[in-house]
Chains A and B, each alone.
Chain A
Amino acid sequence: MITLNNINFSYTSKEIFSEASVEISKGEFVFVVGESGIGKTTLLKLIYFDVKPKSGTVIFDDYNSGTVDKTEIPFLRRKIGIVFQDFKLLNDRNIFENIALPLYIANGKKESIKKRVFDIASKLGLIEYLNIFPYDLSGGEQQRVAIARAMITEPILLIADEPTGNLDPFVAMDIVKLLNDINKTGTTLIMATHNFDIVKKFADKRILQLKDRKLFDVRLKA
């Protein structure tokens, strides 16, 4: 489903990837680990075509970074649910509108949008917050709203960037369990984290480590 082929990528002042390659199959659950500032978010951005590799190719689904047309990128993004590290919730609209936004963007029908939002909100315990605004929620609640928004279109790939960032261990655990459930329905899942307790608890998952500008599969020591 995702192929990175000999990727080179740098920001103006810093090289992030050098000849990095990886392949992720449909239905996998992958933890992306590595120290802060190493390029986890950048890897995810490459996958949803927010940045382009200097050389090498990124392939997601039928989209190839070398040949993709600008006008196709919105459609590529609609197949991916993204939980951003900084959430990117919009403070000018309530939680309902935030969660519903991807459906409006994909031109969904009004009645079905309502039903979908209520379904997801009840699954994530957000029903009581639908009418209030993001800035009135706690960090953990905002996190769940971000996940709800990412899930609402039933994407084939869910990307979660540090979704347990500032949560207490119990809530963090709940969030990852939730992502695990989503993965079990067939959604490919990529989660960037430096929370090793979590990674250890889900020891059966694939772990991808960023190091020396490359990507390695690693196993936890028993």
Chain B
Amino acid sequence: MKFGYLYKEAIRGFANAKLSAFASVITITLSLILIAIYFLFTVNSNRIIKNIKDKVEIEVFLIDDIKTDELNTLKEKLKAVGGVKNIVYVSKDDAAKIFSEEFGSDMLDIYDYNPLPASYKINLYDEYKTIDRINRIKAQITNLPQISDVQFPEKNLELIESKTTGFLFINLIIMVVITISSIFLVSNTIRLIISSRSKIIETFKLLGAKRSFIMIPFLIEGFIQGLAGSILAISALYLFFTVFVSKFESTDLHFELLGTDIVLYVVLIGVTLGIAGSYFSVLKYLKVQN
């Protein structure tokens, strides 16, 4: 029976201050949309970076007259270099095939012999995929007599490396700004609502209400506001993405949009914002005198 009364008290609170309750729901909604956009931005940028990095490999071109047993000893030597995940051998014929697949014309139509060298493609572990480390590996192997040339997509790595630090920094700033402004906005709107009910809090106190009796209806209200805010935010994002998603779908990068995990995070953060906002605002009123 007690919880029933406290729940009624919370609903009464809503009815009392319809406009400010609405304002607080909207504030939570906006905060959640910001947080969700930030989250999706981060997830997808990381995905792009990962995508570029995944394609980074070292191509070790071999001299034409390499012998079969030399091939194997060379492979062992290359494996011994630190950070190697796997090594794939691409023969001269394979290289010609790949070329004709990529460019649509056959090598042998242009030349009367196959000019493409055989190669080893070295895939490194992610943490070795930096210009610095690859250059060190390159220095180790480039003078081996069976090797004609060593190449890797230095430009792509340069792009990632120059942008990553800046990206992390900007990301951090955005996160801090969003978090602080959400908490500030939400607790401010909720404080407005609660100050309009300071007389009720005061009267409850004087009639012998315990802190929990005063607090719980506001927490229930905060919970409902958070839930409503999350549902609105998710609906807004869903609408936005169904309109815009077709534009992304043609690109080969697969963007992560509204997955279950982000929906769950949004609800969790929304409800937390609502409850925490209520809690801290009521606490201020309870602390006055006793």
Contacts and interface: CB of A to CB of B under 8 A. Distances in A.
Contact of A92 (B1, B2, B16, B208): B16
Contacts of B1: 109-110
Contacts of A75: 208
Contacts of A102: 207-208
B2 A93 contact: no
B204 A48 contact: no
A107 B2 contact: yes
Given A92-B12, A105-B213, A77 B199 contact: no
Interface in B184-218: 199-200, 202-210, 213
Q: Tell me whether chain B's interface is mostly helix, strand or loop, or mixed.
A: helix
Contacts of A148: none
B216 to A, nearest CB: 12
Contacts of A109: 1
Contact of A77 (B5, B202, B207): B207
Contact of B200 (A48, A82, A92): A92
Interface size class of B (residues with CB under 8 A): 20 to 34
Nearest to B200: A90
Contacts of A77: 205-208
A90 B202 CA distance: 11
A74 interface: yes
B25 to A, nearest CB: 20
B165 interface: no
A70 B208 contact: no
B246 interface: no
A211 to B, nearest CB: 27
Interface in A68-108: 70-71, 73-78, 82, 84, 88, 90, 92-93, 101-102, 104-107
A110 to B, nearest CB: 6
Given A90-B200, A104-B5, A110-B1, A73 B206 contact: no
A9 B289 CA distance: 15
B68 interface: no
B290 interface: yes
A90 B203 contact: yes
B21 to A, nearest CB: 13
A145 B202 CA distance: 18
A154 interface: no
Interface residues of A, number: 27
A105 B210 CA distance: 8
A48 B15 CA distance: 32
A101 B207 CA distance: 8
Interface string B18-50: 000000000000000000000000000000000
A35 B210 CA distance: 35
A84 B210 CA distance: 20
B242 to A, nearest CB: 41
Interface in A47-72: 48-51, 70-71
Q: Most chain-B CB neighbours within 10 Å: which of A71, A90, A106?
A: A90
Nearest to A107: B2
A74 B209 contact: yes
Contacts of A70: 290
A46 to B, nearest CB: 12
Nearest to A80: B208
Contact of A105 (B12, B200, B209): B209
B92 to A, nearest CB: 86
A37 B202 CA distance: 22
30 contacts: A50-B290, A51-B289, A71-B210, A73-B290, A74-B208, A74-B209, A76-B208, A77-B205, A77-B207, A77-B208, A78-B207, A78-B208, A82-B206, A82-B207, A88-B203, A88-B206, A90-B199, A90-B203, A101-B207, A102-B208, A104-B5, A105-B207, A105-B208, A105-B209, A105-B213, A106-B208, A107-B2, A109-B1, A110-B1, A149-B207
Interface of B: 1-2, 5, 12, 15-16, 199-200, 202-210, 213, 289-290
Interface of A: 48-51, 70-71, 73-78, 82, 84, 88, 90, 92-93, 101-102, 104-107, 109-110, 149
